A and B are shown apart, each in its own frame.
Chain A
Amino acid sequence: NAGVTQTPKFRILKIGQSMTLQCTQDMNHNYMYWYRQDPGMGLKLIYYSVGAGITDKGEVPNGYNVSRSTTEDFPLRLELAAPSQTSVYFCASSLRPGTGPYGYTFGSGTRLTVV
């Protein structure tokens, strides 16, 4: 059981480039989330999805886009990379909404640097 898989693990982008961070889970979880982690700031929610075809903004959605065409996959798209998007990105999934007593299952993260 692989859990939540994120690719790539590391990436360096130039300002203005675009890329997609991949996230896939094999636990048949309906709920999926993208967070960014900056030093001393904890985790901030970027986007989340409650099922295939349904997505919504989190706390810091500007500069990002998402799609959810299948239950398994929840890619995060950066269209015009900016230095402020340098961060570690985590994908997570859960069986129930984040409110439930189940917590999240996290991927191992993608470390992105924009130069």
Chain B
Amino acid sequence: AQSVTQLGSHVSVSEGALVLLRCNYSSSVPPYLFWYVQYPNQGLQLLLKYTSAATLVKGINGFEAEFKKSETSFHLTKPSAHMSDAAEYFCAVSEARSSASKIIFGSGTRLSIRP
């Protein structure tokens, strides 16, 4: 069975500081991994995805994530936080090359930006 663990339900950083949101996954088969962002009162938007190509994945709004198989991690980073980055972020996993499974979401991390 697959699962995703997001470390820290709430992260607060200063504007201009590094953003690091942690995600660890569990999967018995090669995974696809995703980060979604949810702004207040909106649905989820795909931020970036790992699909077994490059291990460093670049997404929208300056975010990137690195797939580390040895650590079963897919942490999300951004070098310099902006006020507009305040949102909830979800890590998700699905099984690669399987027609039967679905995307499993983590419990989310709320990112706050201090002026």
Give A residues with C-beta under 8 Å from B. 4, 33, 35, 40-43, 45, 48, 58, 90, 92, 97-101, 103-104, 106-109
Contact = CB atoms under 8 A, between A and B. Distances in A.
- Size range of the interface on B? 20 to 34
Contact of A33 (B32, B95, B102, B108): B102
B105 A99 contact: no
B34 A42 contact: no
Q: Is the interface of B mostly helix, strand, loop or mixed?
A: loop
A108 B43 contact: yes
A99 B97 contact: yes
A99 B30 CA distance: 11
Interface of B: 9, 32, 34, 36, 41-46, 49, 51, 90, 94-103, 105-108
Q: Is the interface of A mostly helix, strand, loop or mixed?
A: loop
Contacts of A109: 41-43
Among A92, A97, A107, chain B packs the most CB atoms within 10 A around the CB of A97
Contacts of B46: 103-104
Given A99-B32, A106-B44, A40 B101 contact: no
Contact of A43 (B42, B45, B96, B105): B105
A31 B9 CA distance: 30
Contacts of B99: 97, 99
